[in-house]
Amino acid sequence: MSSIAALVGSPSTGSRTVSLVEHIAGRLAGRLAGRLAGDGHDVRVVPVRSLPAEALLGADPGDPLVADAVAAVGAADGVVVASPIYKAACSGVLTTFLDLLPQAALAGKAVLPC
Ligand SMILES: Cc1cc2nc3c(=O)[nH]c(=O)nc-3n(C[C@H](O)[C@H](O)[C@H](O)COP(=O)(O)O)c2cc1C
């Protein structure tokens, strides 16, 4: 079983990005129509908006919640990165988190941007 970290980069509640990631996470976990349908991956959804804003804006990798989320990406075999598009770029909240990842954090991993 592979481990997957799924980053939700929307700053909004009631977000379509959340719905998209929940759908992808469910399929990766092996759920079909709400039921387990065979072996799936171990999926952890990381809603970046729930991490402490002061640590993200201050680029503080020592914050425990931020460090835990960074470690989840580091330990994953695959990473889903989902963001709304604002002015032809990914969201600022996602950028603050991606900026905290070590330089080679995604090396050798399957990455699905969406
Ligand atoms: C200020 C602003 C700028 C946006 N810029 C773009 C854009 O450049 N390209 C695009 O395709 N959509 C753009 N959108 C649309 C959002 O990406 C879209 O509504 C997205 O689904 C919002 O995601 P959410 O539901 O997870 O918050 C923009 C929306 C807002 C509010």
Q: What is the mean pLDDT of residues 12-38?
A: 85
Residue 84 Cα to ligand 1 midpoint, Å, equals 5
84 lines ligand 1 (CB under 6 A): yes
pLDDT of residue 88: 97
CATH code, domain with 101: 3.40.50.360
Q: Which domain covers residue 8, as residue numbers?
A: 3-113
Minimum CA distance residue for ligand 1 atom 10: 85
Q: What amino acid occupies position 23?
A: H
Atom of ligand 1 nearest to the CA of 85: 17
- The burial of 88, by beta-carbon neighbours within 10 Å (0-12 exposed, 13-18 middle, 19 or more buried), is given as exposed
- Which of 49, 21, 13 has its CA nearest to residue 112? 21
Using 50, 70 and 90 to split pLDDT, how confident is the model at 31? confident
Its pTM stands at 0.93
Residue 56 Cα to ligand 1 midpoint, Å, equals 21
pLDDT of residue 107: 97
Residue 48 Cα to ligand 1 midpoint, Å, equals 17
Cβ proximity of 21 and 105 under 8 Å: no
Q: How many domains does the chain fold into?
A: 1
